Amino acid sequence: MEKSTISTGENSSDAGTMTAPMGHQIVRYDDQVVRYFIIATAIWGFVGMLVGALIALQLPFWQANLGQYLSFGRLRPLHTNAVIFAFAGNAIFGAIYYSTQRLTKTRMFSDVMSRIHFWGWQFIIVSAAITLPLGFTTGKEYAELEWPVDILIAIIWVIFAVNFFLTLKIRREKHMYVALWFYIATIVTVAVLHIGNSLAIPVGLFKSYPIFAGVQDAFVQWWYGHNAVAFFLTTPFLGLMYYFLPKAAERPVFSYRLSIVHFWSIVFLYIWAGPHHLAYTAVPEWAVTLGMVFSIMLWMPSWGGMINGLFTLRGAWHKLRDSVVLKMYVIGITFYGMSTFEGPLLSVKTVNALSHYTDWTVGHAHAGALGWNGFMTFGMIYWLLPRLWNTKLWSPRLANTHFWVGTIGMLLYVMALYSAGVTQGLMWRAFDDAGRLVYPDFMETVIQIIPMYWVRLVGGLLYLTGMGMLGVNMIMTIRRAPEKPTDAAITVAL
Amino acid sequence: MSKFIETNGRHRTIEGWPLVFTILTVLAVLVGGTVEFLPLVLMEGNIPVISSVTPYTPLELTGRDLYIREGCVNCHSQMIRPFRDELERYGDYSKPGESVYDRPFLWGSKRTGPDLARVGGKYPDLWHVRHMEDPRSTSPNSIMPPYYWLLSRPLNLNSLERKMKGLQRLGTPYTDEEIQGAAADAEAQAQNLARNISANGGPSDLAEKEIIAMVAYLQRLGTDLKKATK
């Protein structure tokens, strides 16, 4: 029933040598920029996760703090920025450039803008990798980069937006498919969030003070922080899911109506949820309560997305046996469902009282990042590799091993941090019969969770190993590819 | 509702209008943030003024920026929640009025180490020096990284004026005289602290090192409320 909303955008298998019949023209997609983004995704993903493994080691083994430039406090922002903006960032740009051209049946509006976007973004990543270890930071989570880099991000993002919207303008398909709705929401909202949270006055080349202070700064920060999760790690990946999952499963999306309802409710509700990061702090209670109520409401539209994803596989579940791509999507979407159930749970004040400030939060973030963002990205890459490089995947078996190593690694990781978080949270609040703290010395609560930090490191290393397997598979696949892979093309009426 | 979402309903129409679609999306996104944020700015009752809370001294401000540089906020919160165990462990819960001069706020989101909102005055100055140089010398089993370079890196007060002018523009009540005399003020406070540290058996050459600013900042944390009760 939904067939009309999916246009494959590709109707020629012999794209390289096409000639257009009378009254028609050939439109060739810009797949080169997609190849760039996919390669960058793999490289930065490995680097970002490697830094993650190092800081995971630094927690139980302080000797791994290697001097001022490589100590935990400076590397942790490098890790989060690398995996969010470099790994997930390049992945969603690759997904957007690949699918938007096919969904609009046109080449991107400007190849030059596409390339400025690509190289500008890589330059931003390199600047982050240099400035953060040097200690240039705003101190605001997930927005640590100082003002010169912030301005560059804004410029590159605007170029990306202009290129994207002008591509929509010259589209050959009247109606925008649901993936494009999510891309639109991503592009405009990230711009608003980034600018809003970066408002600051410079007091040096790499030093600035935010225009808001204290309570207001905290509010703006978590309005940004929570919605970076929403509009950088959720909506673009939902768009990715809506395009690549039906493609890989060769099934139409389960429900068009559900996609409308869950799109608009996600876009409207998510923004309100930020203050749940500030429960029981000095932020007024009414704001935190609003944040909690909207977080709980978010559960339903989030699961709307999960259901629309998983039910798209109805009648196609047998394909999971042979398709590592589908297996990765299923794990990814399942973990999207788990994280978006856990998120509202953690926003409930009584739960938050226990979980806040503990490793439970870190475990939750990684269930989303490793489970949802990671596996959706891996699934997309394994699907794209043979298509973009006109050859077969070098080793489906290695990809399958990646799936298992990654899944086990992720499970170890989150289980270790759940138990670390709950353990420490309970120890902090334990009173004895006489009404005294059972563990008045903070150190006791730290020693207790060190073994779980080691388990977490093992889990993280397994996940990183999987990432390395993807890298090897990618290199070998590209080496087998023809010298100059051809970009896909379609024939359209003039 | 069904008219809107049916297969060829009204939503189908706006799927053909990217501009309208984008505007509707922006509106949907702006509502929540605006409704929550405006009262925070407009209603003064949300952040009751505490008269004993004053801006950081030039040296403390310098130390605060070092605290930001080293990423201390990644492992230490500065926000005591109103729970019995936290009051017992860390002291009175944090008030909104206490962080009015905090740009950025440093409440943190993770306690790999203990909360620092009221660490000021809890330990002697020399303890902080020893602790930053080698955390395990004062706190056995600590997993904190050492920050020994703070004891050797020279204290840089050159940008103080510019920083304080910036903060003044944003509303921190520094007077022009305070800004002009910032470096001298910082040096005097540093000398005082350094004397105390060496008198207690610590190193004697710390007056012009970064560690002095860090100690000044840490010893300031949470002490404004105590001034109020005196």
Going along chain A from its start, the domains and CATH numbers come out as 23-493 (1.20.210.10)
Q: In this structure, what DSSP letter does residue B95 have? A: P
Among A216-225, B15-24, B37-46, which stretch is predicted with the lowest mean pLDDT?
A: B37-46
Q: In this structure, what DSSP letter does residue A161 have? A: H
Q: What is the pLDDT of residue B9?
A: 87
What are the residue ranges of helices labelled H in B113-209? 125-133, 135-138, 160-170, 176-180, 182-199
Q: Which chain A positions have a beta carbon within 8 Å of B68's beta carbon?
A: 137-139
The pLDDT of B62-78, averaged and rounded, is: 98
Q: What is the pLDDT of residue A91?
A: 98
HEC sequence for A184-206:
HHHHHHHHHHHHHHHCEEEEECC
Q: What is the pLDDT of residue A1?
A: 34
Picking from A345, A141, A139, A332, the residue whose alpha carbon sits closest to that of residue A227 is A141
Sort residue A280 into left (φ over 0), alpha (ψ -120 to 50) or beta. Answer: left
pLDDT band at A6 (very low <50, low <70, confident <90, very high): very low
Residue B36's φ and ψ, nearest 5 degrees, are -80, -35
* From A74, A141, A275, residue closest to B109, measured CB to CB: A141
Q: What is the pLDDT of residue A209?
A: 98
Instruction: State percent of chain A over pLDDT 70.
Output: 96
Instruction: Measure A477 CA to nearest chain B CA, in Å.
Output: 38
Scan for tokens 């952040």, then name that residue. Answer: B47
**HSE, side-chain direction, 13 A CA sphere, residue A52:** 29
Beta strands in A20-177 (DSSP E): 24-28
Task: Mark yes or no for CB contact B21/A282 under 8 Å.
Answer: no
pLDDT band at A146 (very low <50, low <70, confident <90, very high): very high
**Per-residue pLDDT tens for B193-203?**
999 999 999 99
The pLDDT of B187-192, averaged and rounded, is: 98
Q: What is the pLDDT of residue A276?
A: 96
Task: Mark yes or no for CB contact B21/A181 under 8 Å.
Answer: yes
pLDDT band at B230 (very low <50, low <70, confident <90, very high): low
pLDDT band at B47 (very low <50, low <70, confident <90, very high): confident
CA distance linking residue A104 with residue A175, whole number of Å: 9
**Per-residue pLDDT tens for A253-301?**
999 999 999 999 999 999 999 999 999 999 999 999 999 999 999 999 9
A64 near A53, Cβ under 8 Å?
no
Residue B74 has pLDDT above 90, yes or no: yes
Q: What is the pLDDT of residue A17?
A: 58
Q: Which chain B positions have a beta carbon within 8 Å of A197's beta carbon?
A: none
The pLDDT of A117-142, averaged and rounded, is: 98
Q: What is the pLDDT of residue A2?
A: 38
Strands A24-28 and A200-204: unpaired
Task: Mark yes or no for CB contact A356/B81 under 8 Å.
Answer: yes
> Which amino acid, residue A87?
F
Here the ipTM equals: 0.95
* From A1, A196, A287, residue closest to B40, measured CB to CB: A287
Q: How far apart are the first and last CA of chain A?
A: 29
CA distance linking residue B67 with residue A379, whole number of Å: 41
Q: What is the pLDDT of residue A3?
A: 38
The pLDDT of A95-116, averaged and rounded, is: 98
Picking from A116, A119, A113, the residue whose alpha carbon sits closest to that of residue A166 is A113
The pLDDT of B150-166, averaged and rounded, is: 96
Which of residues 273 through 292 in chain A touch B, CB cutoff 8 A? 274-275, 277-278, 280-284, 287, 290-291
pLDDT band at A16 (very low <50, low <70, confident <90, very high): low
What's chain A's average pLDDT? 95
**Per-residue pLDDT tens for B55-66?**
999 999 999 999
Element (H, E) at B227: helix B224-229
CA distance linking residue B223 with residue B78, whole number of Å: 13
A267 near B28, Cβ under 8 Å?
yes
Residue A225 has pLDDT above 80, yes or no: yes
Which of residues 11 through 50 in chain A touch B, CB cutoff 8 A? none
What's chain B's average pLDDT? 94
CB of A137 within 8 Å of any CB in chain B?
Answer: yes
Q: For A443-451, which contacts have Cβ atoms below 8 Å and span 24 or more sequence positions?
A: A443/B139, A443/B140, A443/B141, A443/B142, A446/B112, A446/B113, A446/B141, A446/B142, A446/B143, A447/B141, A448/A423, A448/A424, A449/A359, A449/A420, A449/A423, A449/A424, A450/A60, A450/B143
Task: Mark yes or no for CB contact B74/A431 under 8 Å.
Answer: no
Instruction: State percent of chain A over pLDDT 90.
Output: 93
pLDDT band at B123 (very low <50, low <70, confident <90, very high): very high
Q: What is the pLDDT of residue A9?
A: 46
CB-based contacts of A481: which residues, under 8 Å, 6+ apart?
A389, A390, A391
Q: What is the pLDDT of residue B147?
A: 98
Instruction: Measure A234 CA to nearest chain B CA, in Å.
Output: 14
CB of A451 within 8 Å of any CB in chain B?
Answer: no
Instruction: Locate the domains of chain B by residue range.
Output: 2-46, 58-229
pLDDT band at B40 (very low <50, low <70, confident <90, very high): confident
The count of CB pairs under 8 A between chains A and B is 256
Identify the residue with better confidence: A13 or A356.
Answer: A356
What are the residue ranges of helices labelled H in A285-323? 285-311
**Per-residue pLDDT tens for A351-409?**
999 999 999 999 999 999 999 999 999 999 999 999 999 999 999 999 999 999 999 99
Q: Which chain A positions have a beta carbon within 8 Å of B88's beta carbon?
A: 437, 440
**Which residue in A has a C-alpha nearest to residue B72's C-alpha?**
A73
Q: What is the pLDDT of residue A11?
A: 45
Residue A8 has pLDDT above 90, yes or no: no
Picking from A106, A266, A75, the residue whose alpha carbon sits closest to that of residue A182 is A266
Element (H, E) at A209: strand A207-210
CA distance linking residue B203 with residue A168, whole number of Å: 67
A201 near B170, Cβ under 8 Å?
yes
Domain B58-229, CATH: 1.10.760.10
CB of A185 within 8 Å of any CB in chain B?
Answer: yes
What are the residue ranges of helices labelled H in A316-441? 324-347, 349-355, 359-366, 375-388, 396-428
Scan for tokens 């939904």, then name that residue. Answer: A2
**HSE, side-chain direction, 13 A CA sphere, residue A166:** 13
Q: What is the pLDDT of residue B1?
A: 67
Task: Mark yes or no for CB contact A209/B15 under 8 Å.
Answer: no
CA distance linking residue A112 with residue A32, whole number of Å: 12
**Per-residue pLDDT tens for A316-340?**
899 999 999 999 999 999 999 999 9
B217 near B68, Cβ under 8 Å?
no
* From B28, B39, B112, residue closest to A268, measured CB to CB: B28
Q: What is the pLDDT of residue B7?
A: 80
Q: How far apart are the first and last CA of chain B?
A: 64
Rounded to whole angstroms, what are the CA distances from A468 to A95, A368, A396, A402, A408?
21, 20, 15, 9, 15
